[in-house]
């Protein structure tokens, strides 16, 4: 094919055509400040509130429980720092896992420096948390539990419903980073028993630079920034109308097409895996239990093949991620694979391939050919 086949949808997604079209009027003509009382301001206020309803509908929330942010990182920061700081009278202890995204782990490390205690829960060989470990970690001074819905590297889905029940039993606020799960699997805040949920628009076929945070009614958060009263006073500043509208439309599409999208993502991943198993002549190791995994995510290692070498070898044909960072004289294994106690050779050979709603059978077949040919050549060269 003339351009590299894109199979890194967990990193980011292209903007859906319907989303792009929804933005255009708010760039070209609908420029009013939503806080203004005249017509072009009121129209933009109505557009934001419509978008808020669209986001809420996707996750089973109330519109007033949604605030717009600049993305998943801000949402995670506000949820975690805001909850801990607002509940210091109870304590300064929180629980998270060893496989969270840096947008969570770095916030926690920052809080540790400010006197908070963090319990970092272990995971099993597939990156899954045991709810019993959560309950054992809860203390009288625990104010927050933050566990991602699905892992961005290996795709493992966490048992949020059970963890949420434990959090509710002990009166602990429960947050989840749902950046990877939204639009791929069912993500209902009431079914999952979560109090705070983070959304990243660019994982959902909306632009980069927009996100949302679900805050269950009654949950108190400390502000991160201060100003006027926008977003219930929790996220002040003139709203990003075009991108809020875009996220709303992306959520509407995800809600409408969830079952079809899930089936398509699964079929494309399965076609890829079956093709690789058929054509690759070296050993293959999966890093996740595909029965408890995002339908689009394949974390896989090829025996005797270094991931960065493979990615570089076929970069003009297929785009995907690796499970390690390559530096001048060393390979740094990802914290997720370390927490899973993946052996160093497997981790260094791990690639993450993630399909999307625009992935086609033709693209998958070309990717199978490119990857298998490269793997066979590189493993034979060893």
Using a pLDDT cut of 90, give the percent of the chain over it. 86
Position 44 scores a pLDDT of 87
Domain total of the chain = 2
Question: Last residue of a domain, which of 256, 285, 318?
Answer: 256
Looking at the fold, whether 210 and 317 belong to one and the same domain comes out as no
pTM comes to 0.95
Looking at the fold, whether 193 and 279 belong to one and the same domain comes out as no
Interval 4-28: pLDDT, tens = 999 999 999 999 999 999 999 999 9
Q: Is 5 a member of any domain?
A: no
Question: Last residue of a domain, which of 225, 256, 287?
Answer: 256
Looking at the fold, whether 290 and 355 belong to one and the same domain comes out as yes
Q: Can you give the residue range of the structural domain that contains 366?
A: 258-381
Q: Annotated active-site positions, please?
A: 326
Q: Is 8 a member of any domain?
A: no
Looking at the fold, whether 160 and 275 belong to one and the same domain comes out as no
Residues pairing with 198 in the sheet = 177, 213
Looking at the fold, whether 78 and 156 belong to one and the same domain comes out as yes
Interval 253-285: pLDDT, tens = 999 999 999 999 999 999 999 999 999 999 999
- Pick 41 or 168 by higher pLDDT: 168
Q: Is 7 a member of any domain?
A: no
Looking at the fold, whether 160 and 262 belong to one and the same domain comes out as no
Looking at the fold, whether 179 and 88 belong to one and the same domain comes out as yes
Looking at the fold, whether 238 and 151 belong to one and the same domain comes out as yes
CATH number of the domain at 79, please. 3.40.640.10
The stretch 227-234 carries a mean pLDDT of 87
The stretch 89-104 carries a mean pLDDT of 96
Question: Last residue of a domain, which of 234, 256, 278?
Answer: 256
Position 327 scores a pLDDT of 43
Position 266 scores a pLDDT of 97
């Amino acid at each position: 094919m003339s351009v590299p086949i894109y199979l890194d949808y967990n990193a980011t997604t292209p903007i859906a055509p319907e989303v792009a079209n929804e933005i255009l009027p708010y760039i070209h003509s609908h420029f009013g400040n939503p806080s203004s009382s005249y017509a072009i301001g009121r129209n933009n206020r109505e557009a934001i509130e419509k978008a808020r309803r669209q986001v809420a509908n996707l996750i089973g929330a109330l519109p007033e429980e949604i605030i717009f942010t600049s993305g998943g990182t801000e949402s995670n920061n506000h949820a975690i720092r805001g909850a801990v700081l607002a509940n210091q009278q109870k304590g300064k202890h929180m629980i998270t896992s060893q496989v969270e995204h840096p947008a969570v782990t770095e916030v926690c490390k920052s809080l540790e420096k400010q006197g908070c205690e963090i319990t970092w829960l272990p995971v099993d060989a597939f990156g899954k948390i045991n709810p019993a470990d959560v309950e054992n970690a809860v203390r009288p001074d625990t104010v927050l539990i933050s566990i991602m819905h699905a892992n961005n590297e290996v795709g493992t889905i966490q048992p949020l419903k059970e963890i949420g029940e434990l959090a509710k039993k002990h009166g602990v606020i429960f947050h989840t980073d749902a950046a990877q799960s939204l639009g791929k699997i069912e993500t209902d805040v009431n079914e999952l028993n979560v109090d705070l949920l983070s959304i990243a628009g660019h994982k959902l076929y909306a632009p980069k630079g927009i996100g949302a945070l679900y805050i269950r009614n009654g949950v108190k958060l400390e502000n991160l920034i201060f100003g006027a009263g926008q977003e219930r006073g929790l996220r002040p500043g003139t709203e990003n109308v075009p991108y809020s509208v875009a996220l709303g439309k992306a959520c509407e599409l995800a809600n409408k097409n969830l079952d079809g999208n899930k089936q398509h993502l699964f079929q494309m991943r399965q076609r890829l895996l079956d093709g690789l198993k058929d054509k690759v002549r070296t050993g293959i190791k999966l890093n996740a239990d595909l029965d408890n995994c995002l339908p689009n995510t394949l974390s896989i290692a090829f025996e005797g093949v270094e991931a960065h070498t493979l990615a570089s070898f076929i970069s003009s044909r297929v785009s995907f991620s690796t499970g390690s960072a390559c530096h001048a004289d060393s390979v740094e294994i990802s914290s997720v694979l370390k927490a899973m106690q993946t052996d160093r050779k497997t981790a260094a050979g791990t690639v993450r391939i993630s399909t999307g709603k625009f992935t086609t059978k033709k693209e998958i077949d070309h990717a199978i050919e490119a990857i298998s040919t490269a793997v066979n050549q590189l493993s034979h060269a060893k």
